[in-house]
Amino acid sequence: MELSGAELQALRRKLRFKVCHRIGFACPDVDDIVQESLARFLRAAQAGKMQNVETAGAFLNGIAQNVILEYRRRWNRDGVISDTLPEPVDKRSGHSEVFELHDAIIAGLHQLSTRDREILQAFYFDENSKDEILARMNLTDEAFRVILCRAKERFRRIYNGPLKQRAVASHN
């Protein structure tokens, strides 16, 4: 089975999204898992271990699942803790708190540059796929990841500053 560079890149993009979906988009090891999965897939294909070429996607999916499980077992065994833990959702929030937080988020978004605001809104609020955003904004995959990461960090700095304190203070 021979794959062109474009076919390999398409497989890499699809596999990366699947891995991100399974282990989280913030995981720093996503690219390593994707690379290991593709390497195992290509070695198996060259060794003739794939019985049916039409089911190459399912075969790659199975390999990726195994690599993800190995990663999770290693992570649990070694006790690696991520540097960034998500904040727990406050289930006791009333309607007024939700509106105040919503206003703080909107105010924070308006303090960002137009590009950052559009990226965050398209990806998180409108839930557009990465490919849709790449096509609409004429970006490469690498540029998108960098812009998204920096936009999230800028928003986090804005939101965790005076906006959040104002929202919390108005509730108390």
Quote the pLDDT of residue 5: 76
Quick check: 97 pLDDT over 80? no
Contacting residues for 93 by C-beta, under 8 A, at least 6 apart: 101
- Mean residue pLDDT across the chain: 80
Give the pLDDT band of residue 163 (cuts 50, 70, 90): low
127 pLDDT above the threshold of 80: yes
Rounded to an integer, what distance in angstroms lies between the CA atom of residue 65 and that of residue 59?
Answer: 10
What residue ranges do the domains of the chain occupy?
Answer: 5-78, 95-171
CATH of domain 95-171: 1.10.10
**Which CATH architecture best describes the domain 5-78?**
Orthogonal Bundle (1.10)
- Written as six digits, the tokens of 30 are 């996503």
Q: Among candidates 121, 107, 123, which has minimal Cα distance to 158?
A: 107
Gap between the Cα atoms of 40 and 46, Å rounded: 10
pLDDT number for residue 65: 92
The answer, yes or no, to whether residue 118 has pLDDT greater than 80, is yes
What are the φ/ψ torsions at residue 26 (nearest 5 degrees)? -90, -5
Q: Please say whether the beta carbons of 129 and 63 come within 8 A.
A: no
On whether the CB atoms of residues 69 and 33 are closer than 8 A, the answer is no
